[in-house]
Structure formats: structure tokens, C-alpha cells
């Protein structure tokens, strides 16, 4: 799986983003649409034409990837939620994974997305790829739909599933055995109930049935063939690990460079099962732990302040590859950052932090416009307002734009180690370092202050803050008397000279070696680029954290050939420790990026 960490993802709830075609607003059931946009449980008109119209806005923001809520055909009726009729405007109640929902298309025949190569979806993907942007599709494998209200245009049952319009099964008449029948989850500490029970009355798929697995995997491969570049996977904690390992393997076999990340709700470094999922499933994960730390520190003003954020980064070694974490301030399942108490300046600071730290940052639609609605504390559905402004001059918009450019250019931000340089409840500074490149990020949530910073990995010189016109001097690895105003961020970036690009680049990553000071991890092998087994000429990896060494190497002479290699550790005054196994062998392609991920033997 190829990381997305050179990218910034923009996440849009399609129905609440932009109405590009009013003709599709009613769909097949006019009762599901509210033109006044006062009923937060119904469709408001956003569609794929609206996304297409605003691609240039998203690109100017600096976001090169767009995550869209599920586009699959949804149930047409309404679901009874506390006496109200709720429509499937959010996209998570699918009935046909091989069709587009009619609320999203330009013309009725576009719903049969795989019967044509000229649907609005095709035009959207073509336009995105032409602009150098990538499509992230939100997918659901855990469930289909809940029961609908028969008085509001729906069938009385639940869980009807179609194959491009052909009825396959339903929860009420499940001759194929595609659904669990265990009722709702009663004990959230019971893994079997969480995996097999129903979530909020949603018909829960029985993944043990090969017919179901074949259907869902075939469907997702079709979307990949349509040009989808990445999957965000909903409710991953509600299905067993073996299913995800099989699913990810089949998807990567079909598309080796596919990026996949899952939603393990409230998962992160403090939740052991979610860490195991991230390390063993083959996909990345949304980083709820960092989100909670940022919310407590910047939105709720917790006394511990930035220690809550630094503690999360200190646990990066729990993950085999922390680059696959997707970072965010808020999303469609929680109150927006401002509804949790953040001022606009604290939103700017939160954005600056996720844009300069490890992982792949994700911006929820409208955050760059300070979009929020605080009704009922801003909880669902009030965290999903209609996009109301497209101002390209807000401080938040400019923060994302400037730091997205740094992220694209600076490999230290994309892949480097995280090194704390200053920590107090109100002030936090760290560097990101990789192969001579460095980014320094400093944040102050408190009163005006001045700090001295030491052991900064930037070369000596004068640097300009990416976010302002201020300058700072680095001398002998120090910055003295750096003044920081209240609720401000300060970022310096240095990119080491870029080596000549090669058609083939290989990325070595090693986990599981408990490193100590004075040790160096190298890769030696039978090709010129790895020193032909000469340790003096072996390829030196970069220390990322206690569980991760990383290095990117251009292969010119060995492209298209089979190489053999081993990992070795050089220890100051204590000889060399070889990996205890025969050499690894791998046939190299002629071009592209190859990631070789290993655990110390």
C-alpha cells in the first residue's frame, strides 16, 4: 500500500457541499428532500456536479485528494428516528453497490455507472486526474440499511440488496444467508457482539458467506477500474480482522498502489485493539487519539495543554507505520472544532499542526471557512451544514494552502521523525527530520511569550516563517528569543537538495528492532545500489521512531532485475549484528515505487 502522506485530503459530505443540478433534488421520493434546508434529516441537494464545479477551489486550497461520502444507490424511503423521518442523504444506507444514487447524477441513466464511460462520475474522475488530484471513495462493507417507514415511501423491511438493479436478498427474506441475526450490540466490550451485532438497527452483513464477500469485493474492484484512487472504509471495528485482511489483499492485488484507511471509531494509540487492527489489517486508520488531544488542548482549553498532544506522538512506535494514520480536527460523526469551543485562531493552529505532523492530514469541508452550527452542541446532524462560502482569503484557507505546499515539497514533513524541542502547557515546538530536510513547527496557545530553541536540525541561516513575513535566525542549531503572539503558529521549512530522480524508487521500511543510541540500520545486498554486500557501501536507513527505520533509494542499474538483501545493525565499538535469516529476494519492476516492509528477524 502506497502512503498518501504527500497529500492533503478534503472530505465533503456530498449532499451538503454544493447543488450543481437542481433537477435531481427529489430523487425517487420527493418526501426525502427539503428545499428549505430546515429539516436536517433530509436531502438538501448537493451532488457530483456540485463537486465538479468546485474542484478548482479545492485545488487552490492545496488539497490534492478528495474524500466523498458513499455514492452508492441508497434506500428511497425514510427511516423512523425518534419520530422523525430520516433520509439516506449521508450515503451509509446502500441498497445497490453497483449503482450511483439518483440524487447525485446529472441524468437518470447515469445511475448505471458501469454501463457507460460518460456519467457524471466519469467526468468528475477525469477532471480530478487532469488536475493532478486523487479520488477517495467512502465505502461500507459492514451493513446495508435499516427498516423504513412504510408511510414514507419505503418498503417495510430492511436490508434489500441489489446487483445493478437485480434483487439479490433482504434481511426479511434472506435465502442467501447474507445477514447476521444477533440483534443489537448490548455489551460493547464483547468483540463478538461488536462484530456480529447490529449497529443502530442497520442490517449487519454475514461476512462468513462467500457469496456476500464475492459481491462486495467485485463491486469495489469495479469502482477501482473506474478510477478511484483510495478507499476510506466505514465501521471497520464491526467486522473481524480476517475479513479485512482478505479484503485488503484482494484490493491490493487488483491495485497495488491503492491507499486504504479505516474508521475505527475512537481508535488510536490508547486503544490496543485498534492499534492491532492498524498493524495487521493492511490498511491505515483515522487517528482519533490525536483528534481528542487537539480538541482538549485547543478547543476545550485543558490545563495539561500540549502535553496531551505530545503524548500521542510519543506513542507513534506502537504503529508499524505511523505515516498511514489519517489526522483530522473534526468530521461528520462529531461536533465541529468550533462547536467544541475553538476560536477561529485555534482552528488555524489545529490545521497548522495536522499539516506539519506525521500521517496524512484531512480537512473537513467548510473548516477553511469556519463553518459550524452549534444547535444541540453541534452534534450529528448539525455538524453537517450546507457549505455557505467559498472565500479564498480566510486565515484558515491560507494556512492550509501554504502548509499543503510545504507538505508536497518537504520529505521531512511527509516521512520524517518527530522530535520534540519545547513543551509546556501553552507552547509546543517540534521538528520533522529526514535525509537532511527539516521542518520546525512552533505553537503558542497562551499569552505573548518568547522562547529559546536548541538542537534545531536546520542549517545555519535566516529563514522566513511560512505563515507570515517574520524571519528567524538559526545559528549553531539555536533560535534565541523567538517571540510568539497569543494563538499563533510559526513554521520554518528547509528542503535538502533533491537528488536526480530515477524511473524506479525503492522504499525500505524495518519494524521490530529495539534501537539504541549509537546504532545504525543499513540494507546490504547483491546489487550496486546496496553495496554488493560491502557494508561500507550499504544503504543507511533513517531513524523514524523506536519501531521504524525508513529509507528511499533510487534504483538505476538494478531496475528490472532480481535483488537479494538483508538488514544489518552497526553498533559503535560493538561490531555488526546481522538479520538472522537468509537474504530476502525481490524482482524489481522497470519503473515506479516499490515499498518493501519487513520486521527484524
Q: How confident is the model at residue 500 (pLDDT cuts 50, 70, 90)?
A: confident
For residue 499, the model assigns a pLDDT of 78
Q: Which of 212-221, 312-321, 567-576 has the lowest mean pLDDT?
A: 567-576
Averaged over 461-478, what is the pLDDT? 97
Catalytic site residue 73?
A: no
Contacts of 274 (CB under 8 A, 6+ apart): 237, 264, 267, 268, 285
Q: How confident is the model at residue 378 (pLDDT cuts 50, 70, 90)?
A: very high
Averaged over 111-135, what is the pLDDT? 98
Domain 9-153+209-411 CATH (choose: 3.30.930.10, 3.40.50.720, 3.60.40.10, 3.20.20.80): 3.20.20.80
Averaged over 431-438, what is the pLDDT? 97
**Residues carrying CATH 2.60.40.1180, the chain:** 417-494
* Element at 418 (helix H, strand E): strand 417-423
Please work out, in degrees rounded to the nearest 5, the angle formed at the alpha carbon of residue 421 by the alpha carbons of 61 and 476: 105
Fold classification of 504-599 is Immunoglobulin-like (2.60.40)
Res. 119: pLDDT tops 90: yes
Q: Which of 263, 295, 296, 529 is catalytic?
A: 263
For residue 83, the model assigns a pLDDT of 81
By C-alpha distance, which of 164, 48, 149, 176 is closest to 115? 164
**Residues carrying CATH 2.60.40.10, the chain:** 504-599
Q: How confident is the model at residue 277 (pLDDT cuts 50, 70, 90)?
A: very high
**Residues carrying CATH 3.20.20.80, the chain:** 9-153+209-411
For residue 153, the model assigns a pLDDT of 53
Res. 601: pLDDT tops 90: no
Res. 483: pLDDT tops 90: yes
Task: Kindly report, residue by residue over 9-61, the tens digit of the pLDDT.
Answer: 999 999 999 999 999 999 999 999 999 999 999 999 999 999 999 999 999 99
For residue 155, the model assigns a pLDDT of 57
Task: Kindly report, residue by residue over 152-198, the tens digit of the pLDDT.
Answer: 555 557 999 999 999 999 999 999 999 999 999 999 999 999 999 99
Cell of 551: 529509507
- The fraction of the chain above a pLDDT of 70, given in percent, is 99
Q: Is 278 helix (H, G, I), strand (E, B) or coil?
A: helix
Averaged over 460-487, what is the pLDDT? 97
For residue 402, the model assigns a pLDDT of 98
Beta bridge partners of 433: 417, 438
What CATH code is assigned to 417-494? 2.60.40.1180
Catalytic site residue 263?
A: yes
Beta bridge partners of 586: 563
For residue 152, the model assigns a pLDDT of 57
Q: Between the CA of residue 308 and those of 251, 285, 292, 313, what are the distances in Å?
A: 36, 20, 9, 9
Res. 150: pLDDT tops 80: no
Q: Which of 110, 138, 234, 368 is catalytic?
A: 234
Amino acid at each position: 500500500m502506497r502512503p498518501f502522506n504527500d497529500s492533503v485530503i478534503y472530505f465533503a459530505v456530498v449532499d451538503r457541499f454544493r447543488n450543481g443540478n437542481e433537477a435531481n433534488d427529489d430523487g425517487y421520493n420527493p418526501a426525502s428532500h427539503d428545499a428549505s434546508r430546515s429539516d436536517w434529516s433530509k436531502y438538501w441537494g448537493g451532488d457530483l456536479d456540485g463537486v465538479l464545479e468546485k474542484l478548482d477551489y479545492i485545488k487552490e486550497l492545496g488539497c490534492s485528494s478528495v474524500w466523498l461520502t458513499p455514492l452508492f444507490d441508497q434506500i428511497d424511503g425514510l427511516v423512523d428516528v425518534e419520530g422523525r423521518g430520516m433520509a439516506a442523504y449521508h450515503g451509509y444506507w446502500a441498497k445497490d453497490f453497483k449503482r450511483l444514487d439518483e440524487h447525485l447524477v446529472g441524468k437518470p441513466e447515469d445511475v448505471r455507472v458501469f454501463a457507460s464511460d460518460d456519467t457524471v462520475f466519469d467526468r468528475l474522475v477525469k477532471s480530478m486526474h487532469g488536475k493532478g488530484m486523487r479520488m477517495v471513495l467512502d465505502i461500507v462493507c459492514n451493513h446495508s440499511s435499516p427498516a423504513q417507514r412504510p408511510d414514507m415511501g419505503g418498503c417495510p423491511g430492511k436490508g434489500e440488496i441489489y446487483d445493478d438493479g437485480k434483487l439479490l436478498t433482504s434481511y426479511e427474506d434472506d435465502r442467501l444467508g447474507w445477514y447476521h441475526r444477533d440483534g443489537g450490540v448490548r455489551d460493547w466490550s464483547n468483540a463478538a457482539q461488536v462484530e456480529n451485532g447490529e449497529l443502530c438497527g442497520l442490517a449487519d452483513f454475514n461476512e462468513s458467506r462467500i457469496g456476500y464477500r464475492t459481491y462486495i469485493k467485485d463491486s469495489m474492484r469495479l469502482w477501482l477500474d473506474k478510477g478511484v484512487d483510495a478507499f476510506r472504509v466505514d465501521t471497520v471495528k464491526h467486522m473481524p480482522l480476517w475479513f479485512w485482511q482478505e479484503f485488503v489483499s484482494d484490493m491490493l492485488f487488483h491495485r497495488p498502489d491503492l491507499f486504504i484507511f479505516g474508521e475505527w471509531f475512537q481508535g488510536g494509540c490508547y486503544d490496543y485493539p485498534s492499534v492491532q487492527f492498524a498493524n495487521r489489517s493492511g490498511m491505515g486508520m483515522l487517528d482519533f487519539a490525536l483528534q481528542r488531544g487537539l480538541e482538549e488542548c485547543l478547543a476545550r482549553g485543558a490545563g495539561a495543554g500540549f502535553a496531551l498532544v505530545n503524548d500521542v506522538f510519543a506513542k507513534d512506535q506502537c504503529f508499524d507505520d505511523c505515516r498511514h494514520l489519517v489526522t483530522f480536527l473534526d468530521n461528520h460523526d462529531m461536533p465541529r472544532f468550533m462547536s467544541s469551543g475553538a476560536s477561529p485562531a485555534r482552528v488555524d493552529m489545529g490545521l497548522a499542526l495536522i499539516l506539519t505532523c506525521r500521517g496524512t492530514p484531512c480537512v473537513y469541508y467548510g473548516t477553511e471557512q469556519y463553518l459550524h452550527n452549534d444547535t444541540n452542541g453541534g452534534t450529528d446532524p448539525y455538524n453537517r451544514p450546507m457549505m455557505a462560502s467559498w472565500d479564498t482569503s480566510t486565515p484558515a484557507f491560507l494556512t492550509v494552502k501554504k502548509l499543503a505546499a510545504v507538505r508536497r515539497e518537504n520529505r521531512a514533513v511527509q516521512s520524517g521523525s518527530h522530535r520534540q524541542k519545547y513543551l509546556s502547557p501553552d507552547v509546543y515546538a517540534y521538528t520533522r527530520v529526514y535525509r537532511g530536510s527539516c521542518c520546525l513547527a512552533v505553537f503558542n496557545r497562551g499569552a505573548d511569550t518568547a522562547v529559546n530553541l536548541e538542537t534545531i536540525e536546520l542549517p545555519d541561516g535566516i529563514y522566513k516563517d511560512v505563515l507570515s513575513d517574520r524571519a528567524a535566525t538559526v545559528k549553531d542549531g539555536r533560535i534565541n528569543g523567538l517571540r510568539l503572539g497569543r494563538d499563533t503558529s510559526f513554521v520554518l521549512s528547509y528542503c535538502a537538495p533533491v537528488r536526480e530522480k530515477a524511473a524506479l524508487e525503492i522504499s525500505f521500511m524495518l519494524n521490530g528492532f529495539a534501537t539504541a543510541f549509537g546504532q545504525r540500520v543499513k540494507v546490504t545486498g547483491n546489487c550496486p545500489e546496496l553495496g554488493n554486500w560491502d557494508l561500507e557501501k550499504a544503504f543507511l536507513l533513517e531513524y523514524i521512531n523506536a519501531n521504524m527505520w525508513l529509507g528511499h533509494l533510487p534504483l538505476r542499474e538494478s531496475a528490472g532485475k532480481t535483488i537479494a538483501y538483508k538488514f544489518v545493525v552497526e553498533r559503535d565499538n560493538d561490531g555488526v549484528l546481522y538479520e538472522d535469516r537468509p537474504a530476502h529476494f525481490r524482482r524489481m519492476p522497470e519503473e515506479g515505487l516499490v515499498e518493501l516492509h519487513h520486521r527484524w528477524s
